[in-house]
Chains A and B, each alone.
Chain A
């Protein structure tokens, strides 16, 4: 394939994405430096960087920044480790594997709002939730999940939803692993751990990198789960950047400040992505 055809094939996606990015981004950049509140219409006056200043000096900003990073980091670790463990667990044939696989993947099909409502009301509620019933049955004090550990509760909900995603990618990839090689290693007396470490893990390097990249993007902007369950509270304990921007954009209807928040979120996301690429990116380009 010559490079002209290569360019031709890539062009549509690049051009479309470029348009999709540049138009809203341009508008966002513009709105972020003007005074623009939907609820107090008037001419858009240039306002310098005061929208940025307002967003950054919010006392919720620093907690939100930290919470955002905690959410992304811990959910990544949980989903990748759990996804790997589950993928290996169901990699060999056993009775009813198809059904087990479907059951394990299904949380990913549930809408985030529904997910949050199920967990909040039916599982984590300290009075009538299933967890409290189990706790009481074992003679323990029921935990008030959303007040005492709001961030952990959100992490659990989101991990429940996204572990299946990692699992899906990993089993797809495991299925294409060379089984002869494994069997040979097994006959040579290699331990399961050695097989995992020297054969399976390298084989999964690229899928892991992809899972990490994609999930990072999604988890930087977790919103529905927080909005439905804790409303960002108590205090700022479960407020993240996306929630903070939401409260500017759709409660305050301040397009200016929300746009400034959006630009800050993009910058943050790019910083995170930069480090991620350095950490896992080299796995992406290796040809098998």
Chain B
């Protein structure tokens, strides 16, 4: 018995000793998008440069990742050392003190990070998440179809013009629909797009007293226009389409126009996955009464949960993954057309990138024109372009999105849908005690 005890002690000691020289494990939770998958592939070069750090990956689809990391950070579960979060979570979690402030060395050149991105991921002047890749939204249209109809699309066209173009190129008998837009209910699905559209029609989510504004005429105008447009010139099944469904339609040559994330540009211009790769042109998002908030702003970014024992190592990794050097590393391996975009000025200034990415200018212009702090015609108490950065927004966005998609499917009138949406939003805000 004694012998066994001592051998257990010896074993424990030897484990302890081994642990001291052994590498620190960093567990990284990330979303399964292409750029992150690429990062995982290159992580061996980080490990080679930092032999004391060992990376472990948890890659999940967006919704699973979101519920996973939120559960973990809110319960202080401590399962992850680095978390991939969006521009929606960063300011909320930062303000709650759930994230560590990020401080980088001078070589990181923080001023090179696009100001809109940096602003959207900070609270005050404290940076809580570093952008890994960012995006805005813009029009991606088929120049062959638009030209054949004898029309053009300029930057920031009016929504009326977009409707005319859609009408002119819509030809379902040839399998081409005038315009494809998101319709699947969800705060990050149809509501992300529809919020930018509503912004440009002069709408806002909340007034200065946090009262939901869905019962205001601007929302009714925007939603009526959206449903009319998609019903007449959109593909069937729009009310269950989101980014991926439309991407598949677009790459098969079935959409004349598509207004969505700028990241789509790299997919639709890739001949390996798009049949219309050389027929795509870009323009800035359409507007109605204002340019404000007409295109969204989003960044997938890396953050460190507060209270982790491995903060130094985690920050070191984030510094590497969001650095200029990392972008060059990807460029060397896969070409400049495949680097993560939307984060650094230096990327867009690079002539090699400009050559490789036909969408570079349009994307930069869209990102630069988005301002989360000033995205509506009338003043609001919230930040965010296509969302309001408050914890209640996810549930509100889902409830409203369901009503809009019902109206799109022809099951409700726009008035009824918005009336119920307003009611649902009001309930959530009341429960969260924004007002009595």
Contact = CB atoms under 8 A, between A and B. Distances in A.
B248 to A, nearest CB: 7
A37 B394 CA distance: 14
B406 A128 contact: no
A225 interface: no
B134 interface: no
A37 B406 contact: no
A181 interface: no
Interface stretch (A16-24, A203-211, A245-253): A245-253
Contact of B392 (A58, A239, A252): A252
Interface string B64-78: 000100110011000
Given A127-B236, A253-B391, A235 B412 contact: yes
Contacts of A59: 420, 423-424
A49 B71 CA distance: 25
Contact of A146 (B237, B424, B431, B432): B237
Contacts of B236: 126-127, 142, 144, 147
A24 to B, nearest CB: 15
B398 A251 contact: yes
A152 B371 CA distance: 43
A253 B412 CA distance: 29
Interface stretch (B2-10, B182-190, B211-219): B182-190
B391 A40 contact: yes
Interface stretch (A104-112, A160-168, A191-199, A226-234): A226-234
Contact of A234 (B67, B185, B420): B185
Candidate in B236, B394, B403, B432 with the most chain A CB atoms within 10 angstroms = B236
B252 A234 contact: no
Contact of A252 (B96, B401, B406, B428): B428
A40 B189 CA distance: 25
A232 B235 CA distance: 21
**Residue with the highest number of chain B CB atoms closer than 10 Å, among A126, A227, A230, A235:** A235
A41 B394 CA distance: 17
Interface residues of A, number: 41
Contact of B74 (A142, A145, A251, A253): A253
Contacts, number: 127
B416 to A, nearest CB: 10
B249 interface: yes
A39 interface: yes
B241 to A, nearest CB: 9
B398 A237 contact: no
Contacts of B395: 247-248, 251-252, 254
B142 interface: no
Nearest to A125: B237
Contact of B237 (A54, A58, A144, A253): A144
B239 A127 contact: no
Interface string A133-158: 00000000010111110000000000
Which of A126, A128, A147, A248 neighbours the largest number of chain B CB atoms within 10 Å of its CB? Answer: A147
B411 A235 contact: yes
A40 B432 contact: yes
Contacts of A251: 187, 394-395, 398
Interface in B241-258: 245, 248-249, 252, 254
B406 A233 contact: yes
B427 interface: yes
A127 B249 CA distance: 8
A209 to B, nearest CB: 36
A127 B238 CA distance: 10
Interface of A: 37-41, 54, 57-60, 120-121, 125-128, 142, 144-148, 227, 229-237, 239, 247-248, 250-254, 257
5 contacts: A126-B236, A127-B235, A147-B240, A234-B411, A247-B395
Interface of B: 63, 67, 70-71, 74-75, 92, 96, 175, 184-187, 189, 235-240, 245, 248-249, 252, 254, 391-392, 394-395, 398-399, 401-403, 405-409, 411-412, 417, 420, 423-424, 427-428, 431-432
